């Protein structure tokens, strides 16, 4: 008796219990009596409002509120006719049943004819497995005829357990037929009597009663029927949902999800435990990587009409919370999401960006419903509601009226951009439908936005962002730390390369991939995300061709050698730019080994990334790898060894090279910068400039000596070192600093003596402006003097005096160490050279020797 009743028995679910999920079997004939009503849906009193709705783009449901019933009527439902007063009770119950059915089915359902042919009858699991796209064909387009603007809240309900007057369980839960779309308590009996000609039902009936195979087939047919009914209700936005197990207490529909395997309707808290033991779970191994149960099961429900399956999958990968439920119920947010997916969906890395944009609007909608009268995002882009939108955005972003600052200023700015884009979408949609009034409202909203948004939102947001950056330390990597990290990575790379060459293992492969990833980022100063997402095809299909012959002739011998030494790969950079990546022979050797051992180290074929994770479809994060190695390598300041700070170090320190505009463009192009961004943001630290250079002017003003430095640049101004002022790190360190005689040089390079000022000025006019480059024996005027000549229009042109061979040999004899070490000598060193070579350098003074060596150093740097 119990086995027969088991097919159509009700399942009792207690959210607070820890039951394993077995079916409940009645133990008496009274509990499973056939006198129980087979068409009534039990709707609990004071059902909590549900927020989960599945909209149709451009269409809404127009359904009235469900009629409330008293608790007495609920308790009387499900009783036999004898206990309710004979035929009169049956008539009353049938009338209530018909009215409830009309409320639960606002749309017409297709007739039977949704059965599908199945294959593989030998194994029950293979017979019962069916994917969501296949089930979509069985489901009617129940919401295609709904045309109203909104649906009342609380229109979705979950049938709770009802009890009799004596406290016993009332077994009157309806199970819905997959073929006729009607509800029955005894589903197995109904299928056997009404649909035994269907192939799936006939296959289930072919097994003996009480057998495991028959029970699994019947259970799966029952779940599919309930699943089809639930999808109709969710698309319509109103009706009664059928859970796999009825809860004891009232529950919200948003707390339930369908199992992706058996299509049962479970609470989110129990779903993960059910999926571990689901009888219909396929035996094939799942794809590697994380398994987010709720996101996976949310995709089990087919998308609403007009929504792409790919976008539906992206949407269901969100966290299943209130924001997720709200944004799915708003038409404008869904349309905006599809707009973003059409533009950016090709890149999987942009999917999280799309989800965040939608969640921003969902959070705004939740806040607006609590603080204002706005109910949809469409209401937010109406000009009459502009001030309410401002109020809601301020509340969401945490605006403090006392300090006029935001807790999250960037969120306010992002929401403003999103609303303008939505207004453009609504305008284009209205123009296509010839709704010129709606199009005019959208344009008017943007005009109001352009006029008032900066005043009410953007100004305070930007001010908060800017002030938060004040007095923050600017950390640039130290050269010694970079060298330490580079040496550590080289040692690790050699060790792991030898290990992987001798013994292949996924652990060694992963470690070597992380090391090489950090090496490539460190050497190329590339963004960590760009290198991390480098594809395998980009590396395999690199172009190894040599430079063009004509171009090769314009290169020096060193540059030709460098072209043969490095390998070049082109990858996708920021904003779709093509950016190069240079690989050293050691890096290329390691990458060749990684590519050759991918399959042996359990890297899936579907993983397209070069720096792939074994047994996963994702790649390693370059920022994590760089951070890890920066901590373990022994650097003094590991927090400064990030890809962003390394890139800024390159752009900042490149200023000391005095690059031309063409060379600066080439450097910016390699780093993936716009040259204007490079010039604006990648400068020497502002604090250094103010301390080292502007302080000279302030000290001269304070001492009343500003007139002494007439016609000089900031680099030419020298203040007495007794004032304890640091000199400029860019130019003064080259011209005034030495390792062994620092203090003495500072004293010697102070302001010249008054007695020698006339002679020095005369010598500077005749000699300092001309020097000779070693490679072509041509005179090159000094840069600083050429600038001062342009300013001093009263100065007369002087005749250039070439350096004689004897003079050059005399200077090289005593000052060659300064040239090779790229250090500009001080006045005392030049005077010593003049004392030792009085005959050869009789026509030169110490300034001429100093600038001659400076130009030799410049020529040497240009060669390198």
Can you tell me whether residue 201 is helix, strand or coil? helix
pLDDT of 12 > 60? The answer is: no
pLDDT of 372 > 70? The answer is: yes
Residues 6+ apart with CB under 8 A from 484: 633, 634, 635
State residue 728's pLDDT score: 37
Q: Which of 42-56, 459-473, 744-758 has the lowest mean pLDDT?
A: 42-56
At residue 704 the predicted structure's pLDDT band, cuts being 50, 70 and 90, is low
pLDDT of 423 > 90? The answer is: yes
Q: How far apart are the C-alpha atoms of 414 and 12, rounded to whole Å?
A: 47
pLDDT of 407 > 90? The answer is: yes
The number of angstroms, rounded, from the C-alpha of 727 to the middle of its chain's C-alpha atoms is: 44
Tell me which of 253 and 664 has the higher pLDDT: 253
Give the number of residues written for the chain. 864
State residue 182's pLDDT score: 87
State residue 302's pLDDT score: 65
State residue 249's pLDDT score: 78
Q: Which of 12-16, 526-530, 806-810 has the lowest mean pLDDT?
A: 12-16
pLDDT of 513 > 90? The answer is: yes
pLDDT of 381 > 90? The answer is: yes
* H-helix segments, 85-129: 87-104, 124-128
Mean pLDDT of 8-28: 36
pLDDT of 447 > 80? The answer is: yes
The CA R_g of the chain, rounded to the nearest whole Å, is 40
State residue 81's pLDDT score: 38
State residue 653's pLDDT score: 62
Q: Which two tokens stand for residue 534?
A: 């480098």
Tell me which of 695 and 827 has the higher pLDDT: 827
Mean pLDDT of 156-169: 81
Q: Which two tokens stand for residue 456?
A: 């009410």
Can you tell me whether residue 210 is helix, strand or coil? coil
Mean pLDDT of the chain: 71
Backbone φ, ψ for residue 590 (5° rounding):
-65, -40
Mean pLDDT of 736-740: 39
Residues 6+ apart with CB under 8 A from 732: 692, 715
The number of angstroms, rounded, from the C-alpha of 356 to the middle of its chain's C-alpha atoms is: 8
Can you tell me whether residue 281 is helix, strand or coil? coil
State residue 703's pLDDT score: 59
Of 749, 769, 739, the C-alpha closest to 852 is 769
Mean pLDDT of 792-811: 72
Tell me which of 287 and 473 has the higher pLDDT: 473
What is the 3-class SS of 381-420, one letter each residue? CCHHHHHHHHHHHHHHHCEECCCCEECCHHHHHHHHHHHH
State residue 127's pLDDT score: 37
Mean pLDDT of 498-514: 93
* H-helix segments, 541-685: 549-553, 557-565, 585-596, 622-632, 643-653, 661-671, 675-681
Q: How far apart are the C-alpha atoms of 537 and 608, rounded to whole Å?
A: 8
Tell me which of 375 and 129 has the higher pLDDT: 375
State residue 388's pLDDT score: 94
State residue 740's pLDDT score: 38
State residue 307's pLDDT score: 83
The bridge status of strand 183-184 relative to strand 175-176 is antiparallel
The number of angstroms, rounded, from the C-alpha of 62 to the middle of its chain's C-alpha atoms is: 38
State residue 474's pLDDT score: 67
pLDDT of 520 > 80? The answer is: yes
Can you tell me whether residue 455 is helix, strand or coil? helix
CATH 3.90.15 fits 479-681, yes or no: yes
Q: How far apart are the C-alpha atoms of 780 and 792, rounded to whole Å?
A: 19
Q: Which of 49-53, 546-550, 733-737 has the lowest mean pLDDT?
A: 49-53
Mean pLDDT of 259-276: 81
- Domain assignments of the chain as residue spans, ordered by start: 2-14+21-43+67-251, 343-468, 479-681, 759-863
State residue 798's pLDDT score: 54
pLDDT of 288 > 90? The answer is: no
Q: Which two tokens stand for residue 77?
A: 């439902």
Q: How far apart are the C-alpha atoms of 230 and 157, rounded to whole Å?
A: 11
pLDDT of 33 > 60? The answer is: no
Query: Tens of pLDDT along 747-793?
Result: 443 334 433 444 444 444 344 334 443 444 433 444 344 444 444 44
Mean pLDDT of 799-817: 85
Strands (E) in 205-344, as ranges, are 239-241, 246-247, 256-258, 265-267
Q: Which of 60-69, 458-467, 619-628, 808-817 has the lowest mean pLDDT?
A: 60-69
The phi-psi region of residue 251 (left if phi > 0; otherwise alpha if psi is between -120 and 50; otherwise beta) is beta
Per-residue CA distances from 626 to 191, 307, 527, 644 (Å): 63, 41, 11, 11
Farthest-apart Cα atoms in the chain, separation: 138
State residue 546's pLDDT score: 65
Mean pLDDT of 97-104: 38
State residue 265's pLDDT score: 83
Q: Which of 110-119, 262-271, 554-563 has the lowest mean pLDDT?
A: 110-119
Percentage, residues of the chain above pLDDT 90 = 22
- The DSSP element (H or E) to which 568 belongs, if any, is strand 567-572
Query: Tens of pLDDT along 344-369?
Result: 888 888 889 999 999 999 999 999 99
Tell me which of 472 and 398 has the higher pLDDT: 398
Query: Tens of pLDDT along 214-249?
Result: 888 888 898 889 888 888 888 787 888 888 888 887
At residue 389 the predicted structure's pLDDT band, cuts being 50, 70 and 90, is very high
State residue 231's pLDDT score: 85
**97, 99, 105, 107 alpha-carbon torsion, rounded to 10°:** 140
Per-residue CA distances from 535 to 15, 540, 608 (Å): 47, 9, 6
Mean pLDDT of 616-633: 91
Percentage, residues of the chain above pLDDT 70 = 61
Tell me which of 118 and 474 has the higher pLDDT: 474
> Which stretch, 143-157, 732-746, 780-794, 818-832, has highest mean pLDDT?
818-832
Of 231, 36, 56, the C-alpha closest to 150 is 56
Neighbours of 51 (CB within 10 A): 17
At residue 673 the predicted structure's pLDDT band, cuts being 50, 70 and 90, is low
Mean pLDDT of 697-716: 63
Residues 6+ apart with CB under 8 A from 450: none
Q: Which residues pair with 56 in a beta bridge?
A: 59
Query: Tens of pLDDT along 683-692?
Result: 545 444 444 5
pTM: 0.51
pLDDT of 272 > 70? The answer is: yes
Q: How far apart are the C-alpha atoms of 236 and 230, rounded to whole Å?
A: 10
State residue 45's pLDDT score: 33
State residue 349's pLDDT score: 80
């Amino acid at each position: 008796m119990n086995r027969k009743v088991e097919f159509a028995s009700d399942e009792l679910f207690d959210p607070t219990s820890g039951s394993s999920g077995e079916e409940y079997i009645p133990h008496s004939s009274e509990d499973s009596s056939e006198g129980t009503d087979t068409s009534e849906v039990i709707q609990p009193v004071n059902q909590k409002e549900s927020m989960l709705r599945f909209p149709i783009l451009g269409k809404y449901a127009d359904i009235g509120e469900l009629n409330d019933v008293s608790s007495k009527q609920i308790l009387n439902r499900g009783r036999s006719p004898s206990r309710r007063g004979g035929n009169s009770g049956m008539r009353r119950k049938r009338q209530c049943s018909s009215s409830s059915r009309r409320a639960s089915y606002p749309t017409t359902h297709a007739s039977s004819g949704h059965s599908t042919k199945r294959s593989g009858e030998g194994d029950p699991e293979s017979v019962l497995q069916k994917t969501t796209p296949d089930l979509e064909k069985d489901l009617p387009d129940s919401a295609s005829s709904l045309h109203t603007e909104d649906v009342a809240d609380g229109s979705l309900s979950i049938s709770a357990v009802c009890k009799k007057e004596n406290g016993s369980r009332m077994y009157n839960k309806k199970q819905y037929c997959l073929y006729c779309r009607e509800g029955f308590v005894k589903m197995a009996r109904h299928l056997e009597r009404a649909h035994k000609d269907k192939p799936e039902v006939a296959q289930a009936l072919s097994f003996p009663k009480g057998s495991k195979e028959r029970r699994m087939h019947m259970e799966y047919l029952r779940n599919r029927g309930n699943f089809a009914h639930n999808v109709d209700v969710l698309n319509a936005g109103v009706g009664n949902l059928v859970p796999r197990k009825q809860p004891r207490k009232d529950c919200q529909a948003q707390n339930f999800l369908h199992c992706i395997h058996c299509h049962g309707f479970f609470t989110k808290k129990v779903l993960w435990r059910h999926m571990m033991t689901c009888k219909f779970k396929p035996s094939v191994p799942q794809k590697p990587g994380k398994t987010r149960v709720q996101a996976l099961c949310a995709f089990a429900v087919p998308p609403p009409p007009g929504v792409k399956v790919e976008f539906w999958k992206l949407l269901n990968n969100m966290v299943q919370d209130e924001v997720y439920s709200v944004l799915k119920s708003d038409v404008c947010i869904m349309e905006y999401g599809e707009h973003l997916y059409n533009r950016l969906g090709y890149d999987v890395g942009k999917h999280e960006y799309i989800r965040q944009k939608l969640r921003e609007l969902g959070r705004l909608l939740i806040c607006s419903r609590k603080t204002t009268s706005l109910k949809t995002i469409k209401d937010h882009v109406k000009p009459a509601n502009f001030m309410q939108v401002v109020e809601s955005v301020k509340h969401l972003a945490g605006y403090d009226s006392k300090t006029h600052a935001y807790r999250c200023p960037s969120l306010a700015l992002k929401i403003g951009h999103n609303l303008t884009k939505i207004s453009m979408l609504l305008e284009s949609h209205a123009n296509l439908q010839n709704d010129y009034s709606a199009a005019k409202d959208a344009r008017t909203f943007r005009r109001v936005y352009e006029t008032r948004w900066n005043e009410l939102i953007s100004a305070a947001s930007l001010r908060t962002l800017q002030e938060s950056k004040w007095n923050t330390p600017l950390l640039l990597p130290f050269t010694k730390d970079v060298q330490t990290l580079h040496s550590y990575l080289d040692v690790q790379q050699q060790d792991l390369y030898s290990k992987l060459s001798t013994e292949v293992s996924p652990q060694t492969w992963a470690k070597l991939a992380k090391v090489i990833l950090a090496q490539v980022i460190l050497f190329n100063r590339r963004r960590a995300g760009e290198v991390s997402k480098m594809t395998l095809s980009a590396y395999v299909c690199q172009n190894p061709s040599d430079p063009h012959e004509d171009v090769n002739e314009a290169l020096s011998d060193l540059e030709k050698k460098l072209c043969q030494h490095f390998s070049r790969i082109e990858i996708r950079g920021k904003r779709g730019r093509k950016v190069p990546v240079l690989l050293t022979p050691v890096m290329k050797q390691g990458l060749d080994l990684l590519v050759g051992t991918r399959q042996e180290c359990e890297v899936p074929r579907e993983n397209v990334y070069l720096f792939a994770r074994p047994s996963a479809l994702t790649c390693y994060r370059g920022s994590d790898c760089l951070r890890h190695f920066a901590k373990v390598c022994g650097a003094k300041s590991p927090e400064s060894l990030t890809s962003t700070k390394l890139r800024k170090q390159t752009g900042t320190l490149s200023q000391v090279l005095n690059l031309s505009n063409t060379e600066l463009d080439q450097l910016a192009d390699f780093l993936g910068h716009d040259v204007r961004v490079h010039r604006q943001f990648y400068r020497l630290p502002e604090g250094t400039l103010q301390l080292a250079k502007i302080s000279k002017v302030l000290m001269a003003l304070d001492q009343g000596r500003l007139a002494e430095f007439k016609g000089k640049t900031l680099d030419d101004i020298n203040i007495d070192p007794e004032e304890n002022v640091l000199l400029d790190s860019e130019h003064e360190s080259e011209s005034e600093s030495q390792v062994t005689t620092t203090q003495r040089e500072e004293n010697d390079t102070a302001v010249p003596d008054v007695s020698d000022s006339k002679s020095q000025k005369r010598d500077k006019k005749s000699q300092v402006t001309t020097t000779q480059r070693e490679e072509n024996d041509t005179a090159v005027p000094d840069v600083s003097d050429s600038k001062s000549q342009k300013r001093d229009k009263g100065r007369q042109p002087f005749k250039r005096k070439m350096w004689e061979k004897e003079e050059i040999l005399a200077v090289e004899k005593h000052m060659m160490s300064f040239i090779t070490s790229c250090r500009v000598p001080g006045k005392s060193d030049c005077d010593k050279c003049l004392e030792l070579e009085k005959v050869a350098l009789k026509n030169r003074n110490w300034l001429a020797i100093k600038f001659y060596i400076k130009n030799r150093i410049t020529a040497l740097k240009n060669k390198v």
